Structure 1
Amino acid sequence: MKKNIAIIMGGYSSEYKISLKSGNVVYDYLNKDKFNLYRIHIFKNKWVYVDDLDNETPVDRNDFSISLNGTSVKFDCVFNAIHGTPGEDGLMQAYFELLGICHTSCGFYQAALTFNKRDLLSVLKPYGIKSAPSYYLNKGDAVNESEIINTVKLPCFVKANKSGSSYGITKVYKKEELKSAIETAYKEDDEIIIEGFLEGTEVSVGVLKLKGKTTVFPITEIVTENDFFDYEAKYGGKSQEITPARINTEQLDKVTAASKKIYDLLKMTGFSRSEFIFIGNEPYLLEINTTPGLTTESILPQQAKAAGIELGMLFEYTITEALS
Structure 2
Amino acid sequence: MKKNIAIVMGGYSSEKHISIKSGDVVYKHINKKKYNPYKVHILKEKWVVLDDKDNEFNIDKNDFSAIINSQKINFDCVFNAIHGSPGENGELLGYFRLIGIKHTSAPFYQMALTFNKRDTLSVVKAYGIKTATSIYLNKGDAIDVNAIVKKVGLPCFVKPNGAGSSFGISKAHTKEDILPAIEIAYKEDSEILIESFLDGTEVSVGVIQYKGKTTVLPITEIVSENDFFDYEAKYEGKSKEITPARISKELEKKVIETAKKVYTILNMAGFSRSEYIFMNNEPHFIEMNTVPGLTEKSILPQQAAAAGISLENLFENAIEEALLNT
TM range (shorter): over 0.9
| TM-score in terms of structure 2 length | 0.99
Deviation at 1:210, TM superposition (A): 1.3
* Equivalent residue letter for 1:88: E
* Equivalent residue letter for 2:175: K
Pair 1:134 & 2:125 matched:
no
Corresponding residue for residue 318 of structure 1? 318
1:223 counterpart SS class:
strand
Corresponding residue for residue 117 of structure 1? 117
**Structure 2 CA distance, aligned partners of 1:315 and 1:212?**
14
Corresponding residue for residue 266 of structure 1? 266
* Equivalent residue letter for 1:202: E
Deviation at 1:283, TM superposition (A): 0.3
Corresponding residue for residue 290 of structure 1? 290
2:60 counterpart SS class:
coil
Q: Does the CA contact (< 8 Å) of 1:250 and 1:281 recur in 2?
A: no
2:105 counterpart SS class:
coil
Q: Which runs of 4+ in 1 moved over 2 A?
A: none
For residues 79-125 of structure 1, the C-alpha deviation after alignment (integer angstroms, 9 at most, x for no partner) is 00000000000001111111111100011111011000011000111
Corresponding residue for residue 252 of structure 2? 252
Deviation at 1:71, TM superposition (A): 2.1
For residues 148-198 of structure 1, the C-alpha deviation after alignment (integer angstroms, 9 at most, x for no partner) is 111100000000010000000000011111111000000000000000000
For residues 219-268 of structure 1, the C-alpha deviation after alignment (integer angstroms, 9 at most, x for no partner) is 00000100000000001101000000011111111110111111112211
* Equivalent residue letter for 1:140: G
* Equivalent residue letter for 1:150: K
5 Å matches for 1:7-86? 7-86=7-86
**Structure 2 CA distance, aligned partners of 1:15 and 1:68?**
28
For residues 25-55 of structure 1, the C-alpha deviation after alignment (integer angstroms, 9 at most, x for no partner) is 0000001111001000000110000111010
* Equivalent residue letter for 1:18: I
**Structure 2 CA distance, aligned partners of 1:265 and 1:153?**
29
* Equivalent residue letter for 1:248: S
Where structure 2 has 5 or more consecutive residues not aligned to the other structure, the ranges are none
* Equivalent residue letter for 2:288: I
**Structure 1 CA distance, aligned partners of 2:15 and 2:155?**
27
Deviation at 1:72, TM superposition (A): 1.4
Please provide the CA RMSD for this pair.
Answer: 0.6
| TM-score in terms of structure 1 length | 0.99
Where structure 1 has 5 or more consecutive residues not aligned to the other structure, the ranges are none
Size of the aligned set, in residue pairs, is 324
2:36 counterpart SS class:
strand
Q: Which moved more, 1:264-273 or 1:161-170?
A: 264-273
